[in-house]
Amino acid sequence: MYAEARLSLSPGRIVIYLLLGLYALYFLFPLYVMLSTSFKTLDEIRTGNLLSLPAQPDIDSWEKAWSSACTSVSCGGLSRFFWNSMKMTLPAMLLSTFIGSLNGYVLAQWRFRGSDVIFTMLMVGCFIPFQVVILPMARLLGMLELAGTTLGLVLAHTVYGIAFTTLFFRNYYVSVPEELVKAARIDGAGFFMIYRRIIFPLSLPVFMICFIWQFTQIWNDFLFGVVFGGSDAQPVTVALNNLVNTSTGVTEYNVNMAAAVIAALPTLGLYLIAGKYFVRGLTAGAVKA
Amino acid sequence: MASLSIRNVRKVYPNGTEVLKGIDMDIDDGQFLILVGGSGCGKSTLLNTIAGLEKPSEGEIRIGGRRVNEVPPKARDIAMVFQSYALYPTMTVRENISFGLGLRKMPRPEIDKAVKRVADILQISHLLDRKPGMLSGGQRQRVAMGRAIARDPELFLFDEPLSNLDAKLRVDMRAEIKLMHRRLGSTIVYVTHDQIEAMTLGDRIAVLKEGVVQQFGTPQQIYDAPVNLFVAGFIGSPSMNFLRGRLLPLGTGSAFGLRRDDGTTMPLPLAGTAGNRRLTSWHGKEVILGIRPEHVTDAAFGSRSGLQIGNQPTNVEGLVELTEPTGPDILAVTRFNGARVTCRVHPRAVPMPGKRLMLAFDLANALLFDPATEQRLAY
């Protein structure tokens, strides 16, 4: 009965699959064009069809995008900026996630007078757009003499990210029975011991969510990068923009496409590796004791 | 093991709610204290206060004669078993049991010995390497107990440990907790809302309501001589019957004027009131008669079988509304003159819903309450 029901394609099902197929095409189509164009030569792009596959896959444009394309004044490709982004994103992601985890642990399991007020204020922080933060953040980074450095960007992204990570962790830890913490206190564990031995080991799914969320947010950010990055710490998003906008006569679509894919690759990869945790974690309910 | 002494403990929350309104009680070394009451009566707050998880606003708690108000939970030498068991989900059973021992810097060989000991006692040796998620409710319960026993504390605290188990398992574990108490001689404070657990387990019961100890005593004292209507109605299953009526003079004693459906009053002589002057001031006034279901039975069958019932048949007929056969006897819920009376009837009396049943009251075991103050009248 069950197998039959699964096999039968009712009209409703067919419509659903058709729609899903259309949506998938809609999103995959640009990716396809980007990838196929990036492997074509400039001649082929000019003469050929936008939709055709490259006649002779050619990786010159990738090499150029990575190591020799010009971004405004310098002509070293994206590689330097790619590593800038890594040096900014990884520490900021780790820092903001761990701080968010501790915050969430306190706000969920060690309620104190005013903890709900603090939580509400942090929630409001999630709704403050980047643009609002830019001026005060610029002043702060200037005073700390961190303007134009990777460290400054790490600080900006960490501070901005804490609101989100705290929200994620707090809402996850609220579902951890408070009796667990009580039992551990009676067993003799202190604040950090309880975190390390009991709360942290429960947190893998929510850590994954936060890692993905923060990595994507920080990696894809343009505004902080362009404002606080200066020329030395410029992240790959800003460099990509410069690369595309730097024209030396002919627009090298193949190089632009390759550069765009390079800039998007880390987040894409992260989703492929850890995406299942993202989906699972978003729906993760109470922790079963 | 240690004695426990609670002196005038009050707990007021920042929003002004007074959860505990001056609690006083003492138990000796090795006694089993039950805190019982409905939800919101403060029993769990009191337990948390003893554990040190909450601070009392006022008053003093002494464990083994030592004042512990300022002592953090871990230094009070207590162990607690929670309703949800609160097993650490990412640790194995072995790690769960040894966690507290390790934190107390017990040497490894001794920890292993302690784990083995409790695992043997509770028959959970085969579960030691499993995670709590792989255990059944009863097994988790055992592990939670094991974690407490392994610590060998001065005082055990149980917070409704059996509420999440099914009925059969609950009865089994109840017996095991009692056996464990006999074997270890430990001092136990046990919170429950289940009056059967309270009666069967406790050496002392404290009945709480709205942050006040209504009565503190042995289970039998509380069952036989509840101090007020609340305790009388709370302890005992099925609940005590309450009937309203006037107290009448009868000879040198008193009688309870039982109103019948037809409006006439039948005086039921109260045993032990002859020549007793303490009730005379109540003559003519409204009182509440409390009588437990086992002291109300079917008059016809009672006299036929020559059962010892304290009083002769009452000529009061109740209309049987509902019967609940329990096996050894049948509980018949009868109704007369607006009052509902549950009586315990021998199965051979065959009460049938819709039929009338002549009731007999054993008034030697009846209690009188003041309808205004709800306190029991001593006589």
Interface of B with A (CB under 8 A): 14, 48, 51-53, 72-74, 78-80, 82-91, 99-100, 103-104, 132-133, 140, 147, 151
Residue B30: CB partners within 8 Å, gap ≥ 6? B1, B185, B186, B187
Nearest to A170 by CA among A213, A124, A120, A113: A120
Q: How far is A198 from chain B (nearest CA, A)?
A: 7
Of B164, B198, B163, B159, nearest in space to B178 by CA: B198
Nearest to A179 among B52, B74, B84 (CB): B84
Q: How many CA atoms lie within 13 A of B174 on its CB side?
A: 23
Tell me, what DSSP letter sits at residue B125? G
Q: Which fold has domain A79-282?
A: MetI-like fold (1.10.3720)
CB contact under 8 A, A198 and B90: yes
* Segment B344-367, tens digit of pLDDT: 888 888 788 888 888 888 888 889
Compute φ and ψ for B307, nearest 5 degrees.
-65, 145
- The sign of the torsion formed by the CA atoms of B113, B115, B116, B120 equals positive
Interface of chain A against chain B, CB under 8 Å? Answer: 113, 177, 179-180, 182-189, 193, 197-198, 201-202, 287-289
Q: Cα(B21)–Cα(B227) distance, rounded to whole angstroms?
A: 18
Write out the two tokens for A198: 């009991």
What are the residue boundaries of the structural domains of chain A, listed by start? 2-58, 79-282
Residue A28 pLDDT: 92
User: Which residues are paired to B35 by β-bridges?
Assistant: B191, B206
Closest residue of chain A to B51, computed from CA coordinates: A186
Q: What is the per-residue pLDDT for B304?
A: 53
d(CA A107, CA A95): 18
* A177: nearest CB among B84, B133, B151: B84
Q: Give the pLDDT score at A44.
A: 85
Span A239-263, pLDDT tens digits: 999 888 877 777 888 889 999 999 9
Q: Do B140 and A113 touch (CB under 8 A)?
A: no
For B54-111, how does the pLDDT look when each residue is reduced to its tens digit (9 = 90+)? 999 999 999 999 999 999 999 999 999 999 999 999 999 999 999 999 999 999 999 9
Phi, psi torsion values for B224, nearest 5 degrees: -80, -35
CA of B316 to nearest chain A CA: how many angstroms apart?
Answer: 53
Residue in B74, B83, B90 closest to A188 by CB: B74
Give one DSSP letter per residue of A161-221, joined into a string.
Answer: HHHHHHHHHHHHHTTS-HHHHHHHHHHT--HHHHIIIIIGGG-HHHHHHHHHHHHHHHHH-
Euclidean distance between CA atoms A210 and A165, whole angstroms = 6
Residues A167-180: pLDDT tens digits? Answer: 999 999 998 888 99
Mutate to test the interface with A, among B48, B55, B99 (most CBs of A within 10 A): B99
Give Rg (Cα) of chain A: 24
Q: How does residue A287 score in pLDDT terms, banded at 50, 70 and 90?
A: very low
C-alpha distances out from residue A69 to A63, B27, B298, Å: 9, 84, 103
- Which chain B residues contact residue A288 at CB under 8 A? 89, 133
What are the structural domains of chain B? 4-234 (3.40.50.300), 241-369 (2.40.50.140)
Distance of alpha carbon B249 from alpha carbon B260, whole angstroms? 18
Kind and range of the H or E element at B35? strand B32-36
Q: Give every CB contact of residue B243 below 8 A, 6+ residues apart in sequence.
A: B256, B258, B288, B289, B291, B339, B341
Of B72, B80, B104, the CB nearest to A183: B80
- For residue A5, is pLDDT > 60? no
B197 pairs with which residues across the strands?
none
3-state secondary structure of A88: helix
Burial environment of residue B85 by CB neighbours within 10 A (0 to 12, 13 to 18, 19 or more): buried
Alpha-carbon dihedral of residues B90, B94, B99, B105, nearest 10 degrees?
A: -150
Separation of alpha carbons B263 and B261, rounded Å? 5
Preferred mutation among A186, A191, A288 to probe B, highest tally of B CBs within 10 A: A186
Could you give the CA distance from residue A250 to residue A156 in angstroms, rounded to a whole number? 37
Which of A71-80, A101-110, B271-280, B350-359 reaches the highest mean pLDDT? A101-110
Query: Which chain A residue shows the shortest CA-CA distance from B93?
Result: A289
Which among A186, A188, A289 has CB closest to B89?
A289
Residue ranges, chain B, pLDDT below 70: 1, 301-315
For residue B132, give how far its alpha carbon lies from the nearest alpha carbon of chain A (Å).
Answer: 7
List alpha helices for B189-285, DSSP H. Answer: 195-201, 219-224, 229-234
B interface mutation test: which of A173, A179, A181, A187 has the most B CBs within 10 A? A187
Q: For the CA atoms of B173, B175, B177, B181, what is the dihedral angle to 10 degrees?
A: -170
| Chain B nearest-CA residue for A287 | B89
Paired with B32 in beta bridges are B188
Cα A108 to Cα A164, A167, A175, A178, B77: the distances in Å are 15, 10, 9, 9, 27
CA nearest to B157 within chain A: A186
Closest chain A residue to B103, measured at CA? A188
Residue A58 backbone dihedrals phi, psi, to 5 degrees? -135, 125
Give me the helix-helix angle, A79-109 and A236-245, nearest 10°. Answer: 140
Cβ A184–B88 below 8 Å, yes or no? yes
Residues of A in contact with B111 (CB under 8 A): none
Cα–Cα distance, B17 to A131 (Å, whole number): 45
CA atoms of B27 and B2, how far apart (whole Å): 9
Chain B: residue nearest A179 by CA?
Answer: B86
Residue A1: per-residue pLDDT:
43
pLDDT in tens, A232-245: 889 999 999 988 88
Side chain identity at residue A118, one-letter code: I
Nearest Cα of chain A lies from the Cα of B89 at a distance, in angstroms, of: 5
Kindly list the distances between the CA atom of residue A227 and the CA atoms of A144, A230, A244, B176, B312, in Å, as whole numbers in the listed order: 16, 7, 19, 69, 99
* Cβ–Cβ below 8 Å for A185 and B86: no
Q: What is the pLDDT of residue A7?
A: 59
Give CA–CA dist A275/A10, Å, rounded: 31
Torsion of CA A50, A52, A53, A56, to 10 degrees: -90
The verdict on a CB contact (< 8 Å) between B80 and A182 is: yes
Chain-chain contact of B86 with A289 (C-beta, under 8 angstroms): yes
